[in-house]
Structure 1
Amino acid sequence: MKQRVSYAQVDAEMSASLPYDAPLVPERANAKSLVAVTLGNGLEIYDFAVYSFFSVIIGHLFFPSSNDYTSLLLAVGTFGVGFVMRPLGSMVLGSYADKHGRKSAMTMILGLMSLGVMMVAFAPTYNQAGILAPVVLVAGRMLQGFSAGGEVGAATSWLMEAGDKSRRGARVSWQMTSQGGAALFGAAMGAGLSHALSEQQLYDWGWRIPFIVGLAIMPIGLYIRRQLAETHTVTPTVSAENPTFTLWREHRRALSLGILLVMKGTTTFYIIIYYMPAYMVNTLHMPASTSWWVSLTAAALTLVVPFFGGKLADRLPQRKPILIACALGSFALIWPIFATILHGAPLGITLALIAVDQILANISSAAFFLLILEAFPKAVRASGMAMVYAIGVTLFGGFAQLIVTWLLKVTGQPMAPAWYLMFCAVVTFGALLAWHERKTFCDE
């Protein structure tokens, strides 16, 4: 009978006997390495951002309907379909990262992501190809979702493991920084194209430009990732079962609570940064130029603030206190943000409230990542992080736009997005209180 090997034993054996040709990790990850590791996550967010920003146009081109709400609903539904593939990608690609190394997994993931972007960028419209058009679009989004499912687990594990333990928070903070930079670039691209091109030009070909730009960056990312050092080399002498099975058997509680911890952050990110322009234009009938300022403000803060949150996380002995404080503050801001928008308050007041909310969310982002990462041993860390993030983002972030669009249509209440965000905040806070913070695997 085959003997079962625990993952604590696997970690011990890997630490004791790395193969002679295993690449060494530098004592401090340099800027080039950090950019290479977070590039995939950034490009993923950039692509999702521009899809969301042009969702109205995509809805009309691929899902023509006499009802604008129906077209938008189908377009954001396609956005959500890509997220359905994330959990599968997290299990397959996360397990690959744990069994074959972070570097190999990240390189493969970026290649898959490139193919998905290409399918979206060059997909024919409904007038050109009929029903084949939405099929190609959906297939491209599904491939993007599958690759994205493994990206965060492999990349964030690499960031945690690559260097001095006292700087883990600073390194991990690059994940959110890359998301902010990508969202900012995507928002700027959308605003720039909306200003430079006519509406007809945007419908004819302009909406494709951001996807082609993202696709052009992919080869550079692939080249740089191939030069990375490995942080997790598995010895061939160690036999163990699939990391996914071990996670569900030995770490079920951490997985379940971790998924709920993702809920509030991901819904806020996708609604405030991505959905807000469409919400302000279609529901509140505001100018598109005004709606862009909300997304630009949130994205700019996501670019800058996480670094300071990472520094703070490295100085604090525990992760939960800062997460609890920021969660309470963020909850208190949800209703005022949407109320000021709805009642036509000066734009500066709305932007100030959103800025405070985004500062709270981003100052605690590194602590959140470390709280999850430190709950899993190294041999299943990429799978654990990937599954927590992918399942949480799929259930609560990927369909956030679809849910609030549906709520707006069914209830007729412009405050429906605020209701959904407040519900998510309560659930996440409960999961945070139930989380038992420990550092059993912190040094593995």
Structure 2
Amino acid sequence: MDAASVPAHRLRRQDVKTLVLSALGGALEFYDFVIFVFLAGAIGQLFFPPETAEWLRTLQTFGLFAAGYLARPLGGIVMAHFGDRHGRKRMFTLSVFLMALPTLVIGLLPTYAAIGYAAPLLLLLMRVLQGAAVGGEVPGAWVFVSEHVPARRVGLACGVLTAGLTAGILLGSLIADAVHSIFDADAVLRWAWRIPFLIGGVFGFLAVILRRYLAETPVFRAMRERRELEQGMPLGVVLRRHRLAVIQSMLLTWMLTAAIVVVILMLPALMPKLFDIDTMTALRANTAATLALTIGCVLTGLSTDRFGLRVTLGVGATGLAATTYLLFAGLAANTPHVAALYALTGLFVGMVATVPVALVRSFPPAVRFSGISFAYNVAYALFGGLTPLVISLWLRSERMAPAHYVTALCVLGLAFAIFGLPDKKSDNARISAPEG
């Protein structure tokens, strides 16, 4: 069946290839960014003075993790500018190259015992570089896949791409699990903690190779042929004409950060400290949750195409709040079913795949990359970057703080589902064709 004979709502062979390569490349890059959090315990011991109080070491380590988020807006804004002016594919490839180098360097860094305070400062610099790279990656990936597929499959495209990004988290969890299984605690602290970062450097360069086989989006090619590209500053147009879309996109991103950062990234490191669960049990439960999250993203994408954005977001936000409290109640009761409860929660975390669909609907093609990149990265820098610090401080007085935080943001998502989002599937037409 040739491309011309494929129904408008069906994915063509080229669309499938684009989705697969984009998702795989995104998984490899996101692995590079998040592997840090799975080794937070070892990094905290190795890169800060040994006499540091445990709560302060945790705060400092998550602060370094947060630095990557705080650096995202600058990298994202710069890459989005050139993505709107000169092409999506170039920036899509550049972002993954810029991620691979600092990941490799982290795996080679000397620790505090060798070079003192220079160690955490160098680690901070590498996290900033990683953040700048991922700032262009995530919005660019959503724009890239949504502009390749038919309008009625934008939900699936965003769901598959988001599943690829979360698969990078799963890969990080698996490799961290393997390192802790194969090596004893002393070996991990001496040298084995470096293995995941060195592997990540290799993964990053593999992703660069994969993206050479992708084509520019039909939407961008059409705008270029019709001379409809934004000639000035795309971000200036966004801030002048699309302020409401920016605010809505930032609030939805806040919900996304609560789900991903707290439930998936922070909880494996917090469970041993809060509920006396051993590290291996926590990591294996997180692996189950992240696998469920990856599946949940695809199901959310399919549901968005089938039932609409409002229904999918409303059901997902309600389910995530309920399952998060159920998980924490089970942890507090020392349940033997940690992995099952965590996996159920992870499945509902997959509702975050509604966010990119809402974001790509919010901005016209000529400034889409810049609009999404600015709103998403500034919100992630603010909310995603500060969330670990807020949770760490809140936990000093309230063990259920992570569940309270996630639920509060789910209420925000539910409010958007009821009042704040258009739900016309015809809005997808704005994604797949330039505005005339």
Counterpart AA for 2:135 = G
Deviation at 1:230, TM superposition (A): 0.4
The alpha-carbon distance between structure 1 residues 399 and 371, as it changes in their structure 2 partners (threshold 3 A), is: same
Counterpart AA for 1:408 = L
Are the counterparts in 2 of residues 301 and 355 from structure 1 also a CA contact under 8 Å? Answer: yes
Question: Counterparts of 1:379 and 1:427 in 2: how far apart (Å)?
Answer: 29
Report what 1:181 is aligned to: 167
- 1:400 lines up with 2:387 in the alignment: yes
Where does the alignment leave 5 or more consecutive residues of structure 1 unmatched?
1-25
Are the counterparts in 1 of residues 253 and 379 from structure 2 also a CA contact under 8 Å? Answer: yes
Are the counterparts in 2 of residues 170 and 307 from structure 1 also a CA contact under 8 Å? Answer: yes
Are the counterparts in 1 of residues 314 and 417 from structure 2 also a CA contact under 8 Å? Answer: yes
Counterpart AA for 2:139 = G
3-state SS of the aligned residue for 1:98? helix
Question: Counterparts of 2:173 and 2:106 in 1: how far apart (Å)?
Answer: 18
Question: Counterparts of 1:319 and 1:30 in 2: how far apart (Å)?
Answer: 22
Report what 1:58 is aligned to: 43
Deviation at 1:396, TM superposition (A): 2.2
The alpha-carbon distance between structure 1 residues 239 and 106, as it changes in their structure 2 partners (threshold 3 A), is: closer
Report what 2:97 is aligned to: 111
Report what 1:391 is aligned to: 378
The alpha-carbon distance between structure 1 residues 101 and 188, as it changes in their structure 2 partners (threshold 3 A), is: same
Q: What are the superposed Cα offsets for residues 246-275 of structure 1, whole Å, 9 maximum, x if unpaired?
A: 111111111111111122232221222221
Q: What are the superposed Cα offsets for residues 147-186 of structure 1, whole Å, 9 maximum, x if unpaired?
A: 1111112111110111322322222222222123212211
- 1:124 lines up with 2:110 in the alignment: yes
Deviation at 1:417, TM superposition (A): 1.5
Deviation at 1:424, TM superposition (A): 2.3
Question: Counterparts of 2:147 and 2:301 in 1: how far apart (Å)?
Answer: 15
Report what 1:381 is aligned to: 368
- 1:304 lines up with 2:295 in the alignment: yes
Q: How many residues align?
A: 413
Report what 1:341 is aligned to: 331
Paired-residue identity, %: 28
* Alignment map for 1:21-420 (pairs within 5 Å): 27-66=12-51, 67-231=53-217, 232-233=220-221, 235=224, 240-316=231-307, 318-344=308-334, 346-348=335-337, 350-362=338-350, 364-409=351-396, 411=397, 413-420=398-405
Where does the alignment leave 5 or more consecutive residues of structure 2 unmatched?
1-10
Question: Counterparts of 1:315 and 1:395 in 2: how far apart (Å)?
Answer: 33
Report what 2:5 is aligned to: none
Counterpart AA for 1:358 = G
RMSD: 2.1
Deviation at 1:224, TM superposition (A): 2.2
Are the counterparts in 2 of residues 294 and 351 from structure 1 also a CA contact under 8 Å? Answer: yes
Deviation at 1:89, TM superposition (A): 1.8
Counterpart AA for 1:76 = F
Question: Counterparts of 1:385 and 1:170 in 2: how far apart (Å)?
Answer: 18
Question: Counterparts of 1:73 and 1:130 in 2: how far apart (Å)?
Answer: 19
Question: Counterparts of 1:82 and 1:64 in 2: how far apart (Å)?
Answer: 22
Q: What are the superposed Cα offsets for residues 168-205 of structure 1, whole Å, 9 maximum, x if unpaired?
A: 22222222221232122111111111111121111111
Report what 1:10 is aligned to: none
Q: TM-score, normalised by structure 2?
A: 0.88
Report what 1:4 is aligned to: none
Q: TM-score, normalised by structure 1?
A: 0.87
Question: Counterparts of 2:285 and 2:311 in 1: how far apart (Å)?
Answer: 29
Report what 1:441 is aligned to: 430
Deviation at 1:47, TM superposition (A): 2.6
Report what 2:414 is aligned to: 429
Question: Counterparts of 2:208 and 2:200 in 1: how far apart (Å)?
Answer: 13
Deviation at 1:402, TM superposition (A): 2.2
Deviates more, 1:208-217 or 1:350-359: 350-359
